[in-house]
Amino acid sequence: MNHSLPAKDDPASVRWAQPTPEHVAWADAEVGVIIHHDLQVYDPRYRVHEGPLPAAAAFNPSALDTDQWLATAKAAGARYAVLVAKHGSGFCLWPTTVHDYSVRNTPWRNGRGDVVADFIASCRRHHIRPGLYYSTTFNSYLKVKNPGRVVSGLAEDQRRYNDVVARQLTELWTNYGPLFEIWFDGGVIPEAVGGPPLRELIERLQPQALCFQGPEGGKNLRWIGNERGEAPDPCWSTVDWGTAEDGVTDRTDLGGTPTGRYWYPGESDMPNRDQERAFLGGWFWKAGEDQFLYPVEHLVERYYQSVGRNTNLLLGMVIDDRGRVPDADVQQFAEFGRRIRRLFEHCLGETAGTGNVLELSLGQPTRIDQVVLQEDIAGGERVRRYVIEGLADGRWTTLAAGQSIGHKRIARFAPTAVGAVRFRAVEAVATPRMRRLRVYSSLARGGR
């Protein structure tokens, strides 16, 4: 779906991509979590792509508590959460009727449990928007390897696998209510080259959901090129094509283009544990690895490099063999949320408006080191280049400059005493619509 429409206040000949209302709401969410809990937590010999596949009966958490998961997410400032309902093993966290490899055939709650249902209910209680991840590209139980091709190579076997995918996604997208986000790790095989009919299913069953790396032409989100939470700079919300990556290999060419045909904004994902040293890249829990938690300062910096660069930040959350977020991780998430709130809870001045120039008086010389810019993205990304200036001793001097703004750009610079701040659009494709310009001093609160 091409969302390129002329703005009413600009020449009809000017066209640029614009978001759906769902894209706007998603950008406002800013921070989410992605929750991994699969059989390697109980049998670490299985490592997604290798090792013996554990029996379903290995799944037996002693104290699984999805309310504890979502309370932890909320403390971190997350407004949405994505549960990995089926990862690469093929084991399903809901009692699927399609095959036997699921919670239905485990000792947990005598086979009558449903992690997905518990997760959705907890999201509602904690006022967090729910999302679900389902890997179509890898399934050890059904002997399917990236990018979702049956090992036998037989067309009939592929059709049977596609039927499993379609039936299981129908269960997930029918039985648990509306979803905020649907996650496809590694993308999906296009139907035209042998993949399942996912776009039709999405449009019929979850038309309001945004899809990370979904079928081409849908309401999609894209990967930003790494799993470190570091968005490119600049990072535009518009592209000429989507992504279908598994995150294994970094890319440096996924910053989008200001003239892109599609509004597919970036989502910056990262684990909360060290990617180089922790089990399975930090996405899954393993005993004795609390020392691999990233320092909170590291997560705060990634917030600046993701949310502050026009993407959302999606933080990995591990679940241990009790079925709970580990205690050390709970503390890390809570402290991260507290730091971000303290950094941005005391605004020194704010303005908004339409036009190439916005000026904000601070009343008296005030020491600042951060300016937050936000476009009204409902009208698209209009600003191509900008400069932020400060007034000191009667002269305007440059504090920061850049290209894309989009939903949010956090500009940081050396602490400077200024009496006023000015935004200037150096280049724009149409009249800039600035939703917000806010001024802060991180030194005043310290973020601590």
* Same structural domain, 80 and 199: yes
Per-residue model confidence (pLDDT) at position 302: 98
* pLDDT greater than 80 at residue 79: yes
Per-residue model confidence (pLDDT) at position 4: 33
- The answer to whether residue 7 is domain-embedded is no
User: What gap in Å lies between CA 186 and CA 165, rounded to an integer?
Assistant: 15
Q: What's the whole-number mean pLDDT along residues 107-115? A: 98
* pLDDT greater than 70 at residue 148: yes
Per-residue model confidence (pLDDT) at position 49: 77
Banded pLDDT at 296 (limits 50, 70, 90): very high
* Same structural domain, 118 and 41: yes
Banded pLDDT at 154 (limits 50, 70, 90): very high
Summarize pLDDT for 271-281 with one digit per residue, the tens. 999 999 999 99
Q: Which of 312, 344, 376 is a domain's end point? A: 344
* pLDDT greater than 50 at residue 312: yes
* Same structural domain, 77 and 175: yes
* Same structural domain, 171 and 297: yes
User: What gap in Å lies between CA 252 and CA 236, rounded to an integer?
Assistant: 14
Q: Give the DSSP letter of residue 294.
A: P
Q: What's the whole-number mean pLDDT along residues 88-97? A: 98
CATH number for the domain that contains residue 360: 2.60.120.260
Per-residue model confidence (pLDDT) at position 16: 80
Beta-strand runs (E) in 30-135: 31-36, 80-86, 129-134
Q: Which of 314, 344, 374 is a domain's end point? A: 344
The b-or-e profile of 62-90 (16+ CB within 10 A means b, else e) is: eebbbebbbbbbbbbbbbbbbbbbbbbbb
- The answer to whether residue 4 is domain-embedded is no
* pLDDT greater than 70 at residue 447: no
Per-residue model confidence (pLDDT) at position 444: 65
* Same structural domain, 141 and 88: yes
- The answer to whether residue 9 is domain-embedded is no
The count of domains in the chain is 2
Banded pLDDT at 446 (limits 50, 70, 90): very low
CATH number for the domain that contains residue 285: 3.20.20.80
* Same structural domain, 192 and 99: yes
Q: Could you tell me which of 302, 183, 309 has the C-alpha nearest to residue 237? A: 309
Banded pLDDT at 121 (limits 50, 70, 90): very high
Q: What's the whole-number mean pLDDT along residues 347-357? A: 98
* pLDDT greater than 50 at residue 405: yes
- The answer to whether residue 110 is domain-embedded is yes
* pLDDT greater than 80 at residue 369: yes
* Same structural domain, 268 and 353: no
Per-residue model confidence (pLDDT) at position 9: 52
Per-residue model confidence (pLDDT) at position 341: 97
In the chain, pLDDT over 90 holds for what percent of residues? 92
Per-residue model confidence (pLDDT) at position 443: 79
Interaxial angle between packed helices 327-344 and 296-306, expressed in degrees from 0 to 180 and rounded to the nearest 10: 50
* Same structural domain, 315 and 359: no
Q: Could you tell me which of 368, 376, 388 has the C-alpha nearest to residue 440? A: 368
**In terms of residue numbers, what domain contains 280?**
21-344
- The answer to whether residue 364 is domain-embedded is yes
Long-range CB pairs of 274-279 (<8 Å, 24+ gap) are 275/227, 275/228, 279/40, 279/44
More confident residue, 134 or 47: 134
* Same structural domain, 244 and 383: no
Per-residue model confidence (pLDDT) at position 448: 43
* pLDDT greater than 80 at residue 1: no
* Same structural domain, 300 and 177: yes
Summarize pLDDT for 7-32 with one digit per residue, the tens. 345 544 447 899 999 999 999 999 99
- How many helices, marked H, and strands, marked E, lie in the chain? 8, 18
* Same structural domain, 219 and 353: no
**Residue at 208: amino acid letter:** Q
- The answer to whether residue 11 is domain-embedded is no
* Same structural domain, 338 and 410: no
Q: Which of 344, 365, 400 is a domain's end point? A: 344
Query: What is the pTM assigned to this prediction?
Result: 0.95
Compute CA distances 85 → 6, 120, 199, 375, whole Å.
Answer: 40, 11, 19, 35
